[in-house]
Amino acid sequence: MKRLGVNIDHVATLRNARGEKHPDPFYASKFVTKHGADSVTIHLREDRRHINDFDAKKICSQKKILVNLEISMNSEIVKKALSISPNFICLVPENRKEITTEGGLNLKANKKKLKTIIQKFKKKKIRTSLFIDANLNDILISKEIDVDCIEIHTGKLANLVKAKKNYQKEFLRIKKCAQLAKKLGIEVHAGHGLDYKVTKLLCKIKEIKEFNIGHFIIGESVFDGLPKVIKKFKKIIRNN
C-alpha cells in the first residue's frame, strides 16, 4: 500500500504571517490525520521560517500520529531532532536564500557526516530518509551509508509536466532509481512539487511507497477544503 504524508509547514507560514496563533499546526496535524493522511511532515528549518521548536515538540509528542521531521545536517538541529525524537527523519539540504528545498543532498561530499548522523537516529530506532536527486550513483551511496529510505526530489519532473514539456527522460530516470533502490533494500519515497497530475503519473512506479506533499495540498484547500483534497490524493494513490 502506498502512503500519503501531508506536509503542514504552510499552515505555520500562514499563522506566522499574522504573528498570532491561528491557524495552528498542531491542530492541523490532528486534522489531516483524521482525514486520511498516513503521516505528517514538518520541516524545522534553521531560520524557523514556518514550524518552530515548540510546534515540532508538541506535534511529535502525539502517540497516535506518525511524524516525519525534515532537518538539515546542521549539528544543533540534529541534536534538537534527537531530543524531540520523531517517528521518522528526512535529511534535506538547506540554503538560507532558497524559497523551498530546491534539490537533493550532495551525498558524495557529505558521505561521512551523513553516515554518522544516520547512525545516531538508527540507535534511537528512528526511520531515516535522505532527500536526493534522481541519480543512480546517489542510490549506491545511500546503500553504502545504510539509510532506511530515500526520498526522490520530484521538482524537475513536476516542472516539466506543469510546463507541458517532454518529461519522459526525467520520469525514466526516477523509475530506474526507484527500481535500483528497491533492489538494494531501500524504501522509496517521492516529494516536491506534486499535484494531482504528477502524483498520478508517479503512481505508475510501483516501487514508490510514500508521497510527501505540502504546498499543493494547502493551496488547493483554500478552494476545496483539506478533507476533500486529502481524499482525492488518497484515491489517486490507492487506485493507480
Q: Which residues are catalytic?
A: 43, 70, 192
CB of 60 to ligand PXP, least distance (A): 17
**Alpha-carbon gap, residue 33 to 99, rounded angstroms:** 27
Whether the CB-CB separation of 212 and 191 falls below 8 Å is answered with: yes
CB of 211 to ligand PXP, least distance (A): 9
Name the residue nearer to ligand PXP (CB basis): 2 or 43. Answer: 43
Return the half-sphere exposure (C-beta side, CA atoms, 13 A cut-off) of residue 47: 10
Name the residue nearer to ligand PXP (CB basis): 126 or 213. Answer: 213
Q: Which helix (H) or strand (E) holds 152?
A: strand 149-153
CB of 104 to ligand PXP, least distance (A): 9
**Alpha-carbon gap, residue 164 to 195, rounded angstroms:** 14
Q: Which residues bind ligand PXP (CB under 6 A)?
A: 7, 43, 70, 90, 92, 100-101, 131, 151, 191-194, 212-216
Name the residue nearer to ligand PXP (CB basis): 30 or 215. Answer: 215
Neighbours of 72 (CB within 10 A): 20
Whether the CB-CB separation of 43 and 16 falls below 8 Å is answered with: no
Name the residue nearer to ligand PXP (CB basis): 20 or 135. Answer: 135
CB of 100 to ligand PXP, least distance (A): 5
